[in-house]
Amino acid sequence: MFEGLQRGLSEAIKKLRGRGRITESNIREGIQEVRKALLDADVNYNVVETFVERVTQKSLGQAVLRTIDPSEQIVKIVYDELVALMGPVDARIRFAKDRPTILMLCGLQGQGKTTTAAKLALTLREQGRKPLLVAADLQRPAAIEQLKVLGAQINVPVFSEFPSNPVDVCKNAVNYATKNLLDTVILDTAGRLHVADMPMDELERIDKAAKPDEIYLVCDAMTGQDAVNSAKVFNERLELNGVILTKMDGDARGGAALSIREVTRVPIKFVGVGEKVDRLEVFRPEGMASRIIGQGDLMDLITRVGRVHAELSEEEIQRQQKKMQEGNFTLDDFRKQFEMLKKMGNMKDLLASMPGFSEMIPEDEDPEVLFKRIQGMIDSMTKVERNNPDVIDLQRRRRIAAGCGVEASDVKQFLQHFDQVRDIARQMAQKSLWERIKMVTGMGQAGAFQPGAQMLKKKGDTGHRKSPKERAKERKNKRKKR
């Protein structure tokens, strides 16, 4: 979703990188590129102006530290402001103690309300709740059947009455839930083709009769500024508690995600990241901001790995943990991890979570093709090379490239990214859960570039990220010592 914005911000940062010092003129030059990137991403104009002004003021007032690349300080400011723009977010649902908790979903037609209702029900069921889905969209009879099918898939009961009226359906559903000891009621209400035609009176009657504890607006992230305008209108009439953005795995420019909170003061609470009913996630501004600046989302990656580990034996997990701690994470291990992680969803989404790997995805290329190319590179290596990538020099890179039909530079780029992932994996494996969270978020580290460069720092590091030449020289020295 944020590819265009990532490229725009990368261009802005490139203009600052390598400067001996940051001046007002080159700050303003870089910030204008940031402004252009945000506008191109369909971010609300007023939000862009406010964001750029805040970044400019903080950048001009920032004391440049000698030990840190000035451009990284600007990126840190952009990151912090992106997090502030989209957060804070409290995804907790405040459940009632002595009666069923009522959650009401509303929105325009075609935004994914019915599917989102099922996703939310499954999420709550996995948390130990007993949800009831309510088919209150009587304008579209197919919605009732769709909800019944989804309910059967996730083993959640569905309440429906037809013919009837939506207000009575919602009231009767709450009574049904009370009698049957169901503790959460999810109302799937009707939508219209445009906000001007939306039956707000009907929604207000449902609100008054059912007294929902929380009201969520379901918005299609691919509608851009229309999603923001819808949120404003619905919030004025219903007092929304949150927004659920759907189709976040699509190719929209991402303007809605960056605009809704600032324009409406209503937080994004959940995001739909796929068509399957298990693809609803809590919205994390930190992870989203990290992806936007091209630094991946390691917390998301850790969560995915955790899901995969749940399917592995304790013995296999300990074996992998030990290899990482000893620094023996090989390309064979990397390939196995990728095979397992492929089960966890969209490959492009996965690669975007890995620092540096989003840069490997060409704009018009299928990530599956990229993954097969990586597999080809690894398969073209000898056993010695897979176990110790540091031995791969120019001659070996050319042989590997010829064996899998790529350029030697592609092999070099892949090995550099693998080296970065291996360093992070080694550090993560050696730390407690709380220390891992601090590594990912950069908490407690003054002047840290959050969350990318700081994670790669070692004792005595000046904060300067090593160039490929420096890293190659370091590997050569290690080989000589051995």
CATH code of the domain containing 273: 3.40.50.300
Q: Percentage of the chain surpassing pLDDT 90?
A: 21
Residues 107 and 193 in one domain: yes
pLDDT at 250 over 80: no
Q: Are strands 268-272 and 280-282 parallel, antiparallel or unpaired?
A: antiparallel
Candidates 269, 219, 225; CA nearest to 245 is 219
Q: Is 95 inside any structural domain? A: no
Q: What is the domain count for the chain?
A: 3
CATH number at residue 47: 1.20.120.140
Residue ending a domain, among 86, 117, 138, is 86
Same-domain status, 359 and 474: yes
Q: What pTM did the predictor assign?
A: 0.65
Position 463 scores a pLDDT of: 37
Are 323 and 258 part of one and the same domain?
no
Please write the tens of the pLDDT for every residue from 159-194. 998 888 899 999 999 999 999 999 999 999 987 666
Which residues pair with residue 403 across a beta bridge? none
Least confident of 239-243, 263-267, 294-298, 413-417: 294-298
Examine the pLDDT at 374 and tell me if it is beyond 50: yes
CB neighbour class for 290 (10 Å; exposed up to 12, middle 13-18, buried from 19)? buried
User: At 198, is the pLDDT very low, low, confident or very high (cuts 50, 70, 90)?
Assistant: low
* Amino acid occupying residue 139: Q
Residue 251: predicted pLDDT: 54
Residue 246 has pLDDT above 80, yes or no: yes
The string of pLDDT tens digits covering residues 99-148 is 999 999 998 888 889 999 999 999 999 989 999 999 998 887 788 999 99
Does residue 114 share a domain with residue 73?
no
Residue at a domain's end among 57, 86, 115: 86
d(CA 386, CA 334): 10
Q: Which residue intervals of 216-328 are DSSP H helices?
A: 225-238, 255-264, 285-292, 298-309, 314-325
Q: The domain containing residue 320 runs over which residues? A: 298-481
**Between residues 468 and 474, which one has the greater pLDDT?**
474
Tens-place pLDDT, residues 31-90: 787 888 888 877 888 888 888 888 888 877 665 544 455 566 777 788 888 888 887 778
